Structure 1
Amino acid sequence: MRLTEISYGTAQPIESYGPGFFRVGGHVLRGPCLITPWDAGLWGGLTDTETPLSLGGKIDVLFLGMGKDIAHAPKAFRATLEEAGIGLEVMNSPAACRTYNVLLSEGRRIAAALLPV
């Protein structure tokens, strides 16, 4: 079997997650988080569209991790992002973390807004 080392350049992948937390760049973030290739921090949750909107022009797609289980994004949240030209992909948070890391390694313009599991 051939193994290929994954390189993220200067971007920081999501290293791990668990009950109520995400680890990025060696730092533990507790609660809802917004993670981009250049930064990671706390996020106000599904009522906070202002923070993801600030990424307009910097990202093409936002992965929305809805926690342990998949659920629909609030219509207003989806509409606001789509009006700003930001695509939204909704999945559970573990899948959003994995998808984010894969596309990050490809150099894609992405971000992840994650609710804890």
Structure 2
Amino acid sequence: MARDAPQVDAYGDGGFRLSGARHEGSVLILNDEARAWSVASMAELTPEAFDPVIAAGREAVEFVLLGTGGANALPPRPVRDALQRAGIGLEFMDTPSAARLYNILTAEGRRLACALIAV
């Protein structure tokens, strides 16, 4: 089955360009669909921010690729624990690195969710 996953073309100025379209603010890409994500900083990151990912389940999502903003930062323990309980892996890095890696992993056909905090 061919995928129609959005590509991260650019990031900065508080948003992203995904497959040519501008998205203001942070973004969550799940099931090859980009949606606005209310998390604006690591301080706002809660387990509830990942409810759509957890609801999609392990069949749809191997792991979450989290872009932590302008600098790499360890996600809060409750977030890590919630994803672990759901059987969903977590990889995290600064948003620019995560955006580039997302494009590569999507092209490889990996089943991932990508949560990017805008920079």
TM-score between both structures, scaled by the size of structure 2 = 0.84
- Distance (Å, rounded) in 2 between the aligned partners of 1:52 and 1:43: 12
From the two aligned structures, give the one with the greater helix fraction.
2
CA distance in 2, matches of 1:11, 1:31: 19
Aligned residue among 81, 87, 99 for 2:83: 81
Which runs of 5 or more structure 2 residues have no equivalent in the other structure? 40-44
**C-alpha displacement at 1:37, in angstroms?**
5.0
* Aligned length in residues: 110
User: Equivalences for 1:84-103 in 2 at 5 Å?
Assistant: 84-103=86-105
Structure 1, unpaired ranges of 5+: 1-7
Conserved? CA contact 1:13–1:37, under 8 Å: no
Supply the RMSD in Å over aligned alpha carbons: 1.6
Q: Distance between the aligned counterparts of 1:41 and 1:81, measured in 2?
A: 20
Structure 2 match to 1:54? 55
Bigger Rg, which one: 1
Larger deviation, residues 91-100 vs 48-57: 48-57
CA shift, 1:79, in A, is 0.7
> Which stretch has the larger CA shift, 91-100 or 32-41?
32-41
Following superposition of structure 1 onto structure 2, how do residues 55-74 of structure 1 map, counting pairs within 5 Å?
A: 55-56=56-57, 57-74=59-76
Kept in 2, the 8 Å contact 1:43–1:51? The answer is no
Partner of residue 116, structure 2: 114
SS at 1:62 equivalent: strand
User: 3-state DSSP class of the match of 1:72?
Assistant: coil
TM-score by length of 1: 0.85
Same amino acid, percent of matched pairs: 39
